[in-house]
Chain A
Amino acid sequence: MIMEFAELIKTPRVDGVVLHRPFMPTVEGTLCLTGHHLILSSRQDNTEELWLLHSNIDSIEKRFVGSLGHITVKCKDLRMIQLEITGMEECLNIASSIEALSTLDSVSLMYPFFYRPMFEVIEDGWNSFLPQNAFKDLESMTDEWRLSEVNKDFSLCPSYPPLVAVPKDVDDETLKKVATFRHGGRFPVLSYYHKKNGMVMMRAGQPLTGTNGRRCKEDEKLINATLRPGKRGYIIDTRAINVAQQAKARGGGFELEANYPQWRRIHKAIERYNVLQESLIKLVEACNDQSHSMDRWLSKLEASNWQTNVKEILTTACLAAQCIDREGASVLVHGTEGTDSTLQVTSLAQIILDPGCRTIKGFQSLVEREWLQAGHPFQQRCAQSAFSNSKPRYEAPVFLLFLDCVWQILRQFPCSFEFNESFLVLLFEHAYASQFGTFLGNSAAERARLCLPEKTVSLWSWVNRPQELERLTNPLYEPNSLVIWPSVAPQSLLLWEGVFLRWNRSSKCLDEAYEEMVHIIEYNKELQTKVNSLRRQLAQLETEDPLLHTP
């Protein structure tokens, strides 16, 4: 074991520890702490063991009743477990070890760098979704775009990937100038090409107009290059107008009508990341409140604002999709940094518009393009979840909200997605704590620096194996090539129980009903196959039947 870990583990093993988990039988056994795991084993064959990644632990609480210590472990996946440890010293040692191990600062000490796959990698996930491949698809539809290497050493925009798609007529020199005019160097790049009518969706950081209304001709040229002659486009600013106004004082701002006459700007109010973190904390608090009062539950649910956030994000995504599909206009989406609400909108709009994104592979590709490559700072945002005691700095459930919105659409179109709810829950879990390297780091640049493809295993390598895919496939899936418009009425949006009430209810009945559904579908398929093969056999007999051969 590496020295760093050995120093942190004060007591590696305690016997006679009792584990309590909701809706599961109590287990008594030996608790072991390793560099990356908390393990509880009863040393009996048929009882379940607990293997918990330290990085999944959000916070712990300890209390004593006499010499019996109780440690409550609250996980980032919102699970809560309790450990009963006899002996004050053991308990304190265990608690402080867990605390230290679960708050390691150094990325290179994270489990993915130590994890060796116990499965055969069929397809290396690190190579599954390369930008150049995605661009090949684009090239087959249009020749108006090119792949620029202007950011190949990440110097122009540290949060962008080395390759980005930009209008063909805009050269790299122009891009360099535009980058200085956009927050974080995030110049407008292609996010989505709508094959049906050739309209596009772009994303960027806010323009740095500041208080004196600075302009940048190259920026105007770049985005105008995406408009068809005589056509107008829409700029969707994910901030309320007053928030966007205030941003001017800090050097930011928004596109002025005078300088962008061909664009209509629409402001939508998606909350900033730190507000979203508060929302998550309040929601989870409400879900774990075991008091039996209906009024209290509903008022806490309302006060958390979580469902409001879901509705706002989904509504903005629908608006973007509507501009593209119904209005036949191109769209530019940005907020402040362009790494959070912007990505929620662009990725959800694609789910609505593009049936390809509703397949398992397509969704992985979407997460790869619009979140990982696009520079959503996963490591910062997912460092802590709802139970964190420390004051949040950069933490926020931006990605979880995106997954929640996808789940809402999935609920409304249960036959149009190749994946099921389990896939979304899986992505939530791995974004917060994982043995895989996929969600480590904050940008493509950081991932390259950490040599993740060489040193860690990709989540996609694990997911894209038949046994996993089977578990994550939606049995109801029937490819649907249409644009799917979700309802955003509050009555149509539900609390995502699969995540927020997952550990607070027994899922046995629901799981059994799901199994029954799978059974019904499979039985139907089986029958169809039998009927078809019998038909074929009969047709065969017909040709073989000498009586039927007319001379």
Chain B
Amino acid sequence: QKYYHYVHLFLQVEQVRLLDRFSNKSIHGTLYLTATHLIFVESNSNNSILHHHIASVEKLSLTTSGCPLVIQCRNFRVVNFVIQRERDCHDVYSSLLRLLRPVCYDELYAFSYNPKQNDQQREEGWQLIDLGAEFERMGVPCDQWQLTDVNRDYKVCETYPRDLYVPVTASKPIIVGSSKFRSKGRFPVLTYFYQEKKAAVCRCSQPLSGFSARCLEDESMLQAISKANHNSRFLYVMDTRPKLNALANRAAGKGYENEDNYSNIRFQFVGIENIHVMRSSLQKLLEVTGTRSLSMSDYLVGLESSGWLRHIKAVVDAAVFLTRAVTVEGASVLVHCSDGWDRTAQVCALGALLMDPYYRTIKGFMVLIEKDWISFGHKFADRCDQLDGDPKEVSPIFTQFLECVWQLTEQFPQAFEFSEWFLLQIHEHVHSCQYGNFLGNNQRQREELQLRERTHSLWAFLMSEKQNHLNPFYSPAYSEAHPVLEPSTLPYHFKFWRSMYHQFDRSMHPRQSILKTILTLKENSRKAESTLQALESVSTLLHIVIFLSFKLEPTESTDTERTVEGSSGTESRKQSYGELEGTYNSDLVKEEPAVVSLEFGVARMTC
């Protein structure tokens, strides 16, 4: 990643000190500023920070050793520079301020990022995830659920995708009527179908019920969802908000379903807080964990008062409720919050992950994010602050989802194909704006931006380095035996995710990683298997050769010797062992060992 070699340099500042955040250690180096990155180079390593990752830059007052510059990143990296001359510091500071707040999408890195792929490769990357195929995998369309073209042109709901699945009995007028009664037109649609019980997980936004309004089409819509499932006489409606928030919304003409107006629904609040609470919770958490010489007591008190783990637990609790309703009771569930793109996405996605082992594979997890987050319009651009926008719209909703998944991987170490590195990598790129997937707030906007034509897909990149994201303990047999996960949500099962929030604070992590060790061992075993195979074929051939040479010896001994010398048998064999050894020990397979030894075998046979 030596961008500074070929990218236009904005600035270069010598003699900059990079301070460790928690100790008194520091390293000296040179700071480079390019159009896309801030790069710190010291003798044996370099650190680069993508401008999009920078959340804030702060210039502190001048000290005797120089001018401190504190950079906070969205991937929770905090970098402290000390720049000798105040003028240089000011230059870096003001340049960064200019660079890190793009005002239009075209300025984002994804539009200039070029991983040296041709158009066809790029197109293939975008085709990797196919949501139509995903619904087919769930068994939809079927006799009760069908694809509707009502939103083909984003006319009914502009934050939904074009393709939506609804009950067969829900006619167009019902859909349109229902959408008019739902915040932002987000009417109830299918997001997951639990084939075994024919139970559906549907999602929508809050009804515009106010204190007494009702809508017959919306009532018919819920009726249709309920009727599509013969296993249960009722439909659960999960309002993922705290009751107080839902009540308050009534004054604004919004609110929640009145059980008296809807036949056969069971209404339930689950109490997940809103984006503003989550934002300030994370802020508090980071303040606490960023403290130097933090005492254990302050840490635990801070962890508690930030409320972060309480919120994580609330999301998991909701997903567990959803999962039980669907898999145990066989009931369909309609999930909503206010607009149905934050808490609803968290709960639906996490619930599906608990119900369906497919989503616990690498490919399946991509599909899940594509479906419940990207296509259903989680506002990534606003929540992740991609463009200079309203700070009140920013919130770590997706980060919370990834953390919930991590908490589950801790309880079920064999149930997931991916390790936490995969989650961290996704988190990194949700904020990097390096790939097109997460740009914008909804599908319609993405089409307008022509992302498929102008940017690359993250999924293709992650797939290409799948090896790095595997969980070595993953057992497909475990998933077969436990298709539905039943996590415990007792408080002590929720832990602080150090690898996420202290990702870049190396001193805090175990110095030896079990994950890394076991992954390396597995890789070694894989190579040893092929080496063994190669050695075995060499050995077989050698035995044949020896057998033949014994037979031939009396008549053609001199000739044979010459031939052997001519083909320099000993030398070439030693070399091929050497190569085999190389493939076994080194990290990269340089050549197909089997082919090498076969060639050698053939050479020997001809003698």
A residues lining the B interface (CB < 8 Å): 287, 290, 292-299, 301-302, 305, 307-308, 310-311, 411-416, 476, 484, 487, 489-495, 497, 501, 504-505, 509-510, 512-513, 516-517, 520-521, 523-524, 527-528, 530-531, 534-535, 537-538, 541-542, 544-548, 550-551
Q: How far is the CB of A158 from chain B (nearest CB, A)?
A: 36
Contact B414–A548 (Cβ < 8 Å): no
Is B52 interfacial (CB-CB < 8 Å)?
A: no
Is B607 interfacial (CB-CB < 8 Å)?
A: yes
Residues on B with C-beta less than 8 A from A298 are 300, 303-304, 309, 491
Known: A531-B531, A538-B535, A544-B546. A294 touches B313 (CB 8 A): yes
Is B411 interfacial (CB-CB < 8 Å)?
A: yes
Residues on B with C-beta less than 8 A from A489 are 22, 294, 507-508
Within B68-87, the residues touching A (CB, 8 Å) are none
Task: Encode B509-533 as 1/0 by CB contact (under 8 A) with A.
Answer: 1111110011001101100110110
Taking CB as reference atom, which chain B residue is nearest A529? B528
Q: Which of B25-33, B58-66, B421-429, B536-544 contacts A (4 or more CB under 8 A)?
A: B536-544
Contact B414–A294 (Cβ < 8 Å): no
Contact B549–A484 (Cβ < 8 Å): no
Within B517-575, the residues touching A (CB, 8 Å) are 517-518, 521-522, 524-525, 528-529, 531-532, 535-536, 538-539, 542-543, 545-546, 549-550, 553, 560-561, 564-565, 569-570, 573
Residue from A296, A524, A531, A547 within 8 A of B564 (CB atoms): A547
Taking CB as reference atom, which chain B residue is nearest A517? B518
Q: How far is the CB of A70 from chain B (nearest CB, A)?
A: 23
Contact B489–A523 (Cβ < 8 Å): no
Taking CB as reference atom, which chain A residue is nearest B485? A509
Taking CB as reference atom, which chain A residue is nearest B523? A524
Q: List 27 A-B contacts (CB under 8 A).
A: A287-B492, A294-B304, A299-B304, A302-B296, A308-B297, A411-B510, A413-B511, A415-B514, A490-B294, A490-B299, A491-B294, A491-B496, A491-B502, A495-B492, A509-B415, A524-B522, A524-B528, A527-B532, A528-B528, A531-B535, A534-B532, A534-B539, A535-B535, A538-B577, A545-B546, A546-B546, A547-B545
Residues on A with C-beta less than 8 A from B532 are 527, 530-531, 534
Contact A491–B549 (Cβ < 8 Å): no
Residues on A with C-beta less than 8 A from B564 are 547-548
B residues lining the A interface (CB < 8 Å): 22, 289, 294-301, 303-304, 307, 309-310, 313, 411-415, 472-473, 475, 478, 488-496, 498, 502, 507-514, 517-518, 521-522, 524-525, 528-529, 531-532, 535-536, 538-539, 542-543, 545-546, 549-550, 553, 560-561, 564-565, 569-570, 573, 577, 584, 607
Residues on A with C-beta less than 8 A from B569 are 547-548
Residues on B with C-beta less than 8 A from A287 are 492
Taking CB as reference atom, which chain A residue is nearest B604? A547
Residues on A with C-beta less than 8 A from B508 are 487, 489, 491-492
Known: A292-B491, A491-B299. A538 touches B510 (CB 8 A): no
Contact A516–B414 (Cβ < 8 Å): yes
Residues on A with C-beta less than 8 A from B493 are 505
Residues on A with C-beta less than 8 A from B22 are 489
Residue from A484, A490, A550 within 8 A of B511 (CB atoms): A484
Residues on B with C-beta less than 8 A from A413 are 510-512
Known: A491-B508, A534-B536, A537-B539. A527 touches B489 (CB 8 A): no
Q: How far is the CB of A421 from chain B (nearest CB, A)?
A: 12
Contact B507–A305 (Cβ < 8 Å): no
Residues on A with C-beta less than 8 A from B560 are 547
Contact A509–B412 (Cβ < 8 Å): yes
Contact A297–B491 (Cβ < 8 Å): yes
Residues on B with C-beta less than 8 A from A308 are 295-297
Contact A550–B573 (Cβ < 8 Å): no
Known: A495-B492, A531-B528. A546 touches B536 (CB 8 A): no
Q: How far is the CB of B417 from chain A (nearest CB, A)?
A: 14
Q: How far is the CB of B404 from chain A (nearest CB, A)?
A: 14
Residues on A with C-beta less than 8 A from B303 are 298
Q: How far is the CB of B514 from chain A (nearest CB, A)?
A: 5
* Bound-complex Cα distance A305 to B301 (A): 11
Taking CB as reference atom, which chain B residue is nearest A489? B508
* Bound-complex Cα distance A548 to B509 (A): 55
Taking CB as reference atom, which chain A residue is nearest B512? A415
Known: A297-B492, A517-B514, A542-B573. A492 touches B475 (CB 8 A): no
Residues on A with C-beta less than 8 A from B411 are 509
Taking CB as reference atom, which chain A residue is nearest B488? A505
Interface centre among B412, B488, B512, B518, by most chain A C-beta atoms within 10 angstroms, is B512
Residue from A299, A492, A538, A544 within 8 A of B539 (CB atoms): A538
Contact B510–A513 (Cβ < 8 Å): no
Q: How far is the CB of A429 from chain B (nearest CB, A)?
A: 21
Contact B412–A491 (Cβ < 8 Å): no
* Bound-complex Cα distance A538 to B289 (A): 58
Q: How far is the CB of A447 from chain B (nearest CB, A)?
A: 36
* Bound-complex Cα distance A513 to B522 (A): 15
Known: A299-B304, A517-B514, A524-B524. A292 touches B570 (CB 8 A): no
